[in-house]
Amino acid sequence: MSLTVPVVESFETTSRVTCVSSGVNLSFGQEDGTLVIGNDHLKLIGITDIAEFSCGDLLVACSDGLHCYRGVDEIWGHPMESGAESISINGQHAVVVDGIGNAHVFSLDGSHLKLKSSSVVHSSVANNIAIATDSGDVITYSLDGDQLWKRPMRGEIGETITAIGWDSNNLVVAREGHGLVPGEEEALEVEVWSDGVLLSRSDTRSRIVAIDGGWRGLDMGGVMLDDELVAELQHPVHLIIDFGEYCLAGSWFHLHRINKLGIEWSVETAGMVEFISSNSAGNQVLIAGEDQNDFTDSEPVILIDSTANAVALVDEETTIDDWGEAPAIEISADDLYGEEKSIEELAGITETNLIQNEGNLLEALNDEIEQNNEETEEEDLMLSLSLDAETIIAPTPDAGGDQQVSVSEEGTAIVTLDGTSTTDPQDRIQVWSWVDSTGREIGNTNKIRVKLKSGLHKFELRIRDKDGRWSSDSVDVRIG
């Protein structure tokens, strides 16, 4: 029996939601610049992220920089020429990544320092700060900005860090090797480090794209607790929140509560789960996301209590349930038991029409037989060629090289994502799929064009072959 928890409250939106924050304040930002803090609405420019200090002061990242609010009053701000892109926060310290990939540390009082890093793609803050760059570097800093440790690179070909996070005082690093890796290293691994000492390294067999505590979200669907797969899902898990004994995981149109035994309950939302935020108690969880339909209004932000008692999920009535309510059709006894008529007469078909229709039917059947013969011959030929092939060569996706594109006066740029260099010698590719960093599909051909705002964007080209096997390649695009 499927279980769920009820929606506590629903908040209407005026445009697509870009971020949510749940704590002392229930807040969310929207694409049209509307910032909602409780019952109040403020107008800003280009809201990209929000997060809350432990005292309730709200940090808002915008295209013009950083703003800090206490209630609806802005208590300090910090302009950034390339805009503020993302925020990682813990207690009284926040790491903010700007539009060109520089990392900054902000304290509750607005004091600021810039870390000696560039091209930052991931950041996480706990007792210390960790950042990962697009070149594969992982570096930790103290909250005062002093560099503590730098992870040694592995392999000569290179690697990508797909996620980082803190599990107590241990740093968890998920990596992906680029193609063949020297020695017998696996291409997809997770490492656990403590004060620069490697505690463990394990093969995940799937790309990890979200880390919080001991919980890991998988790109191909699923949630791991430490090194054990505890829940299999059909869609990527890019969002995960650690609550110790359980986690909240966002995947496709569902938010799941998952423990070490599997899924406890699921909440289905009107839009894809693109943003989630919770207070430390877990009784205020905000969920937001779009249904990717341009012809519908923006979906509301919903509030749930993840600590509430789960209830049975009742399926909604379908159109079949309404058949019994259809009006009765009245028919007279004469119509029902009157003079017998043939089926042809009842259908209004005359003998002449019947003969003509028979002729047309035979012609159609002959055409279909000829077409089927041609298809059968073609299928036999393809089967013969397939049997003659000694080895199946799997296609290899190629999303193209990383790009850096200058921004236009409007603050955007048109970029071409080109997967035409993908190798497919046996014409085995059946599905093309471009997805963005949230797991949303944005195209299904080998080459697409996208319009992007300033900042770092990550895209992935996924292909599926005739045997149902998926493979992927990613590309980073920096607009600035």
d(CA 136, CA 204): 18
The neighbour count for residue 168, using CB atoms within 10 Å, is: 9
Whole-number pLDDT of residue 177: 82
3-state secondary structure of 209: strand
Please, what sign has the CA dihedral across residues 334, 338, 339, 342? Answer: positive
Whole-number pLDDT of residue 314: 63
Structure tokens at 342: 């043939």
* Top CATH class, 403-479: mainly beta
Q: Taking a C-beta distance cutoff of 8 angstroms, is the pair 30, 17 a contact?
A: yes
Mean pLDDT by 10 residues, the chain (480 residues): 91 95 95 95 96 96 97 96 95 95 96 93 96 94 96 80 96 82 64 95 92 95 95 94 97 96 95 95 96 76 96 57 43 53 50 50 51 54 53 87 82 87 90 85 87 87 86 87
CA 474 to chain centre: 14
d(CA 127, CA 90): 8
The residue length of the chain stands at 480
d(CA 10, CA 271): 13
The DSSP code for 391 is S
| Domain locations along the chain | 3-159+215-312, 403-479
Backbone angles phi, psi at 273, to 5 degrees: -80, 95
The DSSP code for 324 is G
Q: Taking a C-beta distance cutoff of 8 angstroms, is the pair 285, 273 a contact?
A: no
Q: Taking a C-beta distance cutoff of 8 angstroms, is the pair 53, 91 a contact?
A: yes
b/e map 415-432, b = 16+ CB within 10 Å: bebbbeebeeeeebbeeb
Enter the CATH code of domain 3-159+215-312.
Answer: 2.130.10.10
